[in-house]
A and B are shown apart, each in its own frame.
Chain A
């Protein structure tokens, strides 16, 4: 099967111009593939580069070498508008933090990815209502902006938003962190449903049980860390 996500010989350095021009190599020679319907967990200790890999896959960080193919597009060489289209249609990302325009109601925050795709409002809002219900966000909060919600509620709104559209490629950064048992179960079910629907998933899970349940393979990013000379 053709992989949905294909990473080859990836390299990343951070150059800190305002701190003496120090160049810090963080990733070298990274390569892996994820097939449709497969979930791969990135592992490694804190600071090993898991989040950096995720951010490069999303086009949020620039790579200094190698390629990252998502579907048919190499995100390391794509134009901004190609990356935007990819993020709209193909590539989803559930980060650890919700970042929204103040004042926009929760229901709209969740429906937005579908509205951006031009789906009918009714369909988009139905899907948003369904996800918010499953993730136990009380209905009385739907018309309020999530900026004032608790950390756990924001996290769940973020997950609802991330799962609104069935992205063929999905990146999950600690999706079950800070969730109670019931909500955690819901999120794991959502992940399983996405896999069953053919999504290729790359995730960071510190929750070992969750990782064991949804991940088909683990990749230790320590092997991508450049060896100190």
Chain B
């Protein structure tokens, strides 16, 4: 099987400081990869390099495109990469304000993505937006409200709807449940899991929350100081961690 994403020896430095170094990974269709590590471990740098938000210094990011098969994203032209970002890729930011347009309505936020890929029929766009708001459990009556009138959990769900409406194949998520109440987190996790399974999505989820990756991720990558120090099946890494740092990380979690 061809991996959906094949990352080879990716590296990024900020001056003399390592952002991430020599990261290689393969993501197959339908797989969810969790990346964990403490603040400053390089996980967000890595995610931003993969998603094309930051130019890496070294390495290759090969994506299995729908039309032309595997292509190195880093050597694509800017318009090609933008098109990818609007169609096959989606990025869910930790702060919904970074992923939403706060001054247009909820329906507009979802519809805008559809229009960016060529949808023009107003009735159809609105119908799809309504459908997606329902899928992320936002009442139809709120379709014309601006996201600024939404709670944090609703904003995050709206951001997910906006990202998934175009049927992407790969979703990047940066701390998707960060900053939310635990009850809201559970609802969001359930929602993401359901969508991933029904749509057959692949996802890369960066988080520092081990409970989140246990429920969402098939595989886990542990990062420290910019380096990948352990990878494996999620439950194996959490239940039988091998590296000293992973053992420390797992044993530091407070039991509820």
Establish whether residues B251 and A103, one from each chain, have CB atoms under 8 Å apart when the complex forms. no
Given A61-B239, A80-B232, A103 and B190 touching (CB < 8 A)? yes
Complex CA gap A80/B219 in Å reads 7
A72: Cβ under 8 A from any B Cβ: no
State the A residues within 8 Å of B (CB). Answer: 14-18, 55, 59-62, 80-81, 83-84, 99, 101-104, 115-116
Min Cβ gap B246→A in Å is: 9
Establish whether residues B193 and A60, one from each chain, have CB atoms under 8 Å apart when the complex forms. no
Establish whether residues B186 and A83, one from each chain, have CB atoms under 8 Å apart when the complex forms. no
Establish whether residues B240 and A61, one from each chain, have CB atoms under 8 Å apart when the complex forms. yes
Min Cβ gap B181→A in Å is: 13
Min Cβ gap A49→B in Å is: 14
Query: What are 6 A-to-B residue pairs whose CB atoms are below 8 Å?
Result: A18-B247, A59-B236, A62-B242, A80-B232, A84-B218, A102-B186
B230-251, CB under 8 A of A: which get 1 and which 0? 0011011001101110011001
Establish whether residues B247 and A16, one from each chain, have CB atoms under 8 Å apart when the complex forms. yes
Given A101-B189, A101-B190, A81 and B218 touching (CB < 8 A)? yes
Given A101-B193, A102-B190, A103-B187, A80 and B248 touching (CB < 8 A)? no
Beyond the given pairs A18-B248, A81-B218, A103-B190, 6 more chain A to chain B contacts, judged by CB atoms under 8 angstroms and listed by A's residue number, are A55-B239, A60-B233, A62-B236, A80-B218, A81-B28, A101-B190
B83: Cβ under 8 A from any A Cβ: no
Chain A contacts for B197, CB-based, 8 A: 115-116
Partner of B251, one of A18, A83, A101: A18
Min Cβ gap B199→A in Å is: 14
Chain B contacts for A104, CB-based, 8 A: 190
Establish whether residues A59 and B233, one from each chain, have CB atoms under 8 Å apart when the complex forms. yes
Closest 7 CB pairs of A and B: A17-B244, A102-B186, A61-B240, A80-B233, A103-B190, A80-B219, A101-B190
Establish whether residues A60 and B251, one from each chain, have CB atoms under 8 Å apart when the complex forms. no
Q: Select from chain A the residue with minimum beta-carbon distance to B27.
A: A81
Chain A contacts for B233, CB-based, 8 A: 59-60, 80, 83-84
Chain A contacts for B244, CB-based, 8 A: 17-18
Chain A contacts for B247, CB-based, 8 A: 16-18
Complex CA gap A60/B28 in Å reads 21
Complex CA gap A115/B247 in Å reads 34
Q: Select from chain A the residue with minimum beta-carbon distance to B3.
A: A81
Complex CA gap A80/B27 in Å reads 11
Establish whether residues B236 and A60, one from each chain, have CB atoms under 8 Å apart when the complex forms. yes
B54: Cβ under 8 A from any A Cβ: no
Q: Select from chain B the residue with minimum beta-carbon distance to A147.
A: B186
Which residues 97-138 of B sit at the A interface, judged by CB distance below 8 A? none
B215: Cβ under 8 A from any A Cβ: yes
Q: Select from chain A the residue with minimum beta-carbon distance to B191.
A: A103
Chain B contacts for A14, CB-based, 8 A: 240
Chain B contacts for A115, CB-based, 8 A: 197
